Structure 1
Amino acid sequence: MTGDSSSTFQAGQTGLIVRIPEAEPVVHGWRERLDPSARAGVPAHITVLFPFLDESRIDSLVSSALADVLGKHRAFDLRFEQCGRLPEVLYLVPQPDTQLQRLTEAIADRWHEAPPYGGRFTEIVPHLTVAQGQEHAVLEEIEAGLFSKLPFTSHVSSVELMVHDGTKWQGRASFALRPAPKGRTPDGKS
């Protein structure tokens, strides 16, 4: 749930994320210093949809609909082998990213009033932000330091609803993805 460095989070904002706990030992120190969402309590993650609905709109019907939409998608594995860049942002690239894009599209299709990133960007680029708002030389240094800590993998089996309470982001609910069938890998191959 990153924005530009001038953005501030507001009470009642919500977002949907995929936690990547395996990334914490790799990126925690950088994120705490250089990613505003980390300082606001968001763990290492890939954003599925931000901003989502205001907290005042999250009731049992919305929660049930989220569970239904997300429960139609299978759990999957991600591999992180390299870094990527957006303007003033260094991130880890999740591969493959197709399932992440499908999750975002499914939620945005269900809730048209909540387009990804508030409609600011037309392309969905799944990413795990490490640092933002930094000069090129700083991002180069961080990327060089990350290189020896890659690759790693992560299993994604749920999507978490985060809510900003005015001070910090808090996990509010977790929505399970459908387990991969026995005898098949999470990407559906035998």
Structure 2
Amino acid sequence: MTAVGEGHAPEDRSALVITLPMANPLLEAAAEINPALVRKGLPAHVSLLYPFLPAAELTADVDAEVRDLAASLPAVRTDLKDFVVAPRFVAVPAPALQPVADAFCARWPHIAPYGGRFGERPEPHVTLATGATDEEAELVRDRVRPLLPLRVAAWRVDLVVRTDGDWRLRLTAPFAASP
């Protein structure tokens, strides 16, 4: 994940994510190559808005807006089947979650996903490895490939906050219909 921005400590981060526990075996397979490649503190997930708001700006009104927006969206099933590979990075795209990401980005247009590092509309994905050498990235793909395709259900949005070096769940906002 990227830094929140100027003036915010790492512990002052929040993110809107869709956790995908059924995809945890993909992270476990990547961690078998090198545990340092897999982010600690969160299960398999797709980031909708990271960074989101500084922790000090998270209010009951923001919580209500997150819940209301999530409740206006249907649950989504998506197939994880391909790889996105960039230098030091391996992920599995979750394209069916693009409308959800678009809805949250439209609600908070002043927040650029990933600080704008990947454009205005980055493709939703489950990150498998960051900081990988070319050889490690290839090994991760080889280890994960037999686990794909994987159909996962997205039925809620989680607002998480980074505190004391770990991620803490602030709220869970279910979609309109759960799978």
Q: TM-score, normalised by structure 2?
A: 0.86
> Once superposed, which parts of structure 1, at least 4 consecutive aligned residues long, lie more than 3 Å away?
none
Pairing 1:171–2:169 present: yes
Answer yes or no: is the 8 Å Cα contact 1:12–1:166 preserved in 2. no
Deviates more, 1:157-166 or 1:104-113: 104-113
For residue 103 of structure 1, what is the amino acid of its counterpart? Answer: V
Q: Partner of 1:125 in structure 2?
A: 123
What is the match of residue 114 of structure 1? 111
Amino acid at match of 2:88: E
* Alignment check: 8 A CA contact 1:47 1:126 kept: yes
Output one character per residue of 1:100-153: Cα deviation in whole Å (capped at 9) or x when no partner: 222222222222332211222213111111111122121111111111122221
Q: Which moved more, 1:145-154 or 1:103-112?
A: 103-112
Q: What count of residue pairs does the alignment treat as equivalent?
A: 170
Instruction: Give, in whole Å, the separation in 2 of the partners of 1:78 and 1:106.
Output: 17
Structure-1 residue corresponding to 2:6: none
CA distance in 2 between partners of 1:130 and 1:120 (Å): 18
Is contact 1:91-1:128 (8 Å) kept?
yes
Q: Please give the TM-score of this superposition, normalised by the length of structure 1.
A: 0.81
Segments of 5+ residues of structure 2 without an aligned counterpart are: 4-8
Q: Distance in 2 between matches of 1:151 and 1:108?
A: 28
Report the AA paired with residue 130 of structure 1: L
- Structure 1 unmatched ranges of 5 or more: 181-185
Question: RMSD of aligned C-alpha atoms?
Answer: 1.9
1:34 to 34, 37, 57: 37
